[in-house]
Structure 1
Amino acid sequence: MTIIGLVAVVLLINGVFMGQFLTTNFANSKDQERSLQKMAYKVSADLSLHREDIHYITAVAELLDAQDAAVLSLNSRFEDSLPPASGTQVPKLQAFDLFGKDKLEQVLQGGTFPSIYYDPQSGKRFLAVAVPQREKNTETINGVIILYQAQIALDYTQAYFQNLFVIAGVIGFLLTTLFAFFLSSRITQPLLQMKKAADFITLGEYKNRVPVTSSDEIGELAVAFNHMTGRLDETIHALNHQKEHLSSVLRSMTDAVITLDADGRLLLANPQGEKLVAEWSEIGWDQAGGDEGATVPQPLQPLFEEVVKGNKDMISNIHVRNNVYSVVMAPLYSPEGLRGTVAVLRNVTEEHRLDKLRKDFVANVSHELRTPLSMLQGYSEALLDDIAATPEERRELAQVIHDESLRMGRLVKDLLDLARMEAGHIELSFREFELEPLIQRVHRKFSALCKDRGLALKLEMPAEPITLYLADEDRLEQVLTNLLDNAVRHTPSGSWIGIGVSQAGGRKNEIVQIEIQDGGQGIPREDLPYIFERFYKADKARTRGPSGGTGLGLAIVKNIVDAHQGTISAESELGEGTTFTIKLPNKHV
């Protein structure tokens, strides 16, 4: 409304000035035209009476010159019939400069015409009137009288109007400039400040506020903008807090979380999920084309298709190489429909392995106990039924019952030892001792047994004595006993068994190496990774030799060696024998 009012005032002022000018100019022009026309008729009548009087004509010319006017007298052929006047200030104009021939001919017919002419030489504008000239005392027209006068009043009015218009323009410009500054301070500047604040908001500066400088609509807009910014700041802060909380939860989760869109592209994953996807992407899956980074990971493909197709949660176990993962996958929805899926993966390889070990353990223990129990039951029933007729037969049955009971006792003892070791409750007594007496003691223990079996027992010791600074002598003796017992049971008569001791680890000899070799039947290469598992022998054949091995010896050996921070490995070829190598760290404390 202010802008409209200002424009209206400016137009009103210009209209007033223009109206005054037109009114004044039109009135002056009409008055001068009527006055000049009357004067032309008067001059025409007088000239018709005094055409021959030179003094009269001169007097008329001087009188007209005093009023910036002049007269032309034309005959019927449009020739000037008056003698030229001398000493006049009004320039001598030609009749055809003022009027055209057609107009002059109409004047000869009795018409009257006005005309305005601008003289370029004098720079003046002249108002001219052409009237007919009649003969003396008759109505006969014999010529044309042209009277012209300078328009001095009109020029003055025009100059006055120009001055007024310039003044009005300057006033209008000043008012417009002042109003522009007013708009800049009252309207434009607050809007620019709001735009600047909006730019800061797009950059994440939600605490920026707009100063409120007025109580009008612009001020109310600034208040509403500040309120909106405050609420936006609170909302963004709450969202960031929730996002950080969710990110912290996802980062702290040991399970892998993977989010996929409806097309199977990876949207989001926690660090464990990213690591798992990266590991799977390095596997050369047997699939046709496709960008590994933009499609569903191959192990999740079947489960993903079932979840997308059925729109329901799915739980499954997947096997990737030697690992087992428990997967819970659920669909994600949006107002438009299915947006994708989220999968939570947990590595249950150890749980799967333990469950398998539990099942195998139950099966193996059941098998190991079934045989001696069956024999105990059978032979005891034979004794009760007096099947053995002689004392020798009864003694033989009792001996079998006694041997099987000893076998069951060894099995239970080994199971208890292994259970304590795997639970971390193994009791070790670390101390410093010489290794050679231990080796010699074990060698003597098996020398008689090997001689009875027809085996040669070899021993190789270094020239310098070896001292173990931190080891359990009794447990190491148990390790060597179990290994030599296995070697004796699996080596045929006429072959050999060897014990070798050496040091390695550079100049400081920080590793003690013990090797148990035999020339027995050997172990298949594909079975070597599993020989240290419980009841390994039971997995391959449900029979035991005459010595009644429990199948737990190598598992106990590995647990004892691991408790010493050492390693044990086996090398074997079928028909060529087996070598067990024990490496124990031996740093001086």
Structure 2
Amino acid sequence: MALDGPSPSSPAAFSPWPDRLRHSAIILLVAALALGVLVLRDELLPFRAAAVFLCIAAAALVPWRLHSAVTTREDVFRGSNPVEAPAVNAVVAGMPDPVVLLDRAGRVIHLNEAAAQLAPALRKNELAQFALRSPEIITALREAIATTEPRRATYHDHVPVDRWMELIITPVPVPTAFGGAEKCMLMTFHDLTPLRRVEEMRADFVANASHELRTPLAALSGFIDTLQGPAKDDPRARERFLGIMHTQAGRMARLIDDLLSLSRVELSAHVRPDATVDLIPIIHQVADGLEPLARERQVKVEIDLPETPVTIAGDREELLRLFENLIENALKYGASGGRVIVSLTSAVSGEGTPEIRVKVRDFGPGIAPEHLPRLTERFYRVDVGDSRAQGGTGLGLSLVKHILNRHRGRLLIESVPKNGATFTACFPQPKPPFGA
């Protein structure tokens, strides 16, 4: 005769029960059957069988009760933990600086959007040490957890750009659900990059300016002494010396202007431009502005640009300065080739990301291979005399490199001696809108 339901000994009979209770029940059932068989065979007295059964029951049921009580306590604690309250999350999310709230073990409880951007590896309920790999951060965090005292640390972040950060760890007493208080760790990050940039800008400006301005200043001082002395009453010498003095003063003005531009770009190098600009009219504007120089050097500028807009995230004034330097260099140092080609194309970088490339090619004498790696260094010149004769300051390509760094781009330089040079400004291509 078939039974309608599962037998009492079948595991399916206990399926609605919790796992630990179901296992305990099965153990007790098997123990009862075994002890019953022993009693029926007169191999074990009934009262001894009962005592053994009670011992087995205690061993099987007490751990389940303890686990059930601990689980219930943990569930209650999670549901009413003040640290995980929405109000705490809202406070952390509303802070302007990157902020992370950790428990005493160093696990992330809350973090705001700024912290997620600063350290994308941070995850809730995971140890912060695994995501923040800087030795200074890990040391400060371990000391704060061990001593429950505030800690402060500074560190240098190299990716994606150079940044100097300050970390402040503050122990925060938070009441628990069962009375008392728990020390959580509030990590606050402050960006020190602007201050460091200002310091570096000041030091670099003094060093570079004192070096580069010494020559024109010495020339001006010498000609002034000459005009005040031997050439005081010589109109021809005065006219000639005043012309040279005007040239030297113009060189000083260009040098100061380039130094200030370079310092401004470096100061904001860690902040990527967020305005949308069209490269086509910018390049046309620069080419039109340099037309007098092209006529003077007898160079034809050929523009090969698409008719449709090509937009990127960028700073218009910095991009004007970038293309002005590239095209002006081609007109000055590649004039013997008779023409300069400015073109724009789309390409894929070596890492497989799409990018926009603006090429400026001249057909002049070209650049020797040993000079190519150093062209973007400050004040580096292939030919110092020729550069100064052309009115160059030695900062143009350095400024180009720093502007491209701020736009998360890169500069490619290709040259073959006696066959011209090509300077390519590469910009990351913006992603199309979602669903476009």
Which bin holds the TM-score, normalised by the shorter protein? Answer: 0.3 to 0.5
Higher radius of gyration, 1 or 2: 1
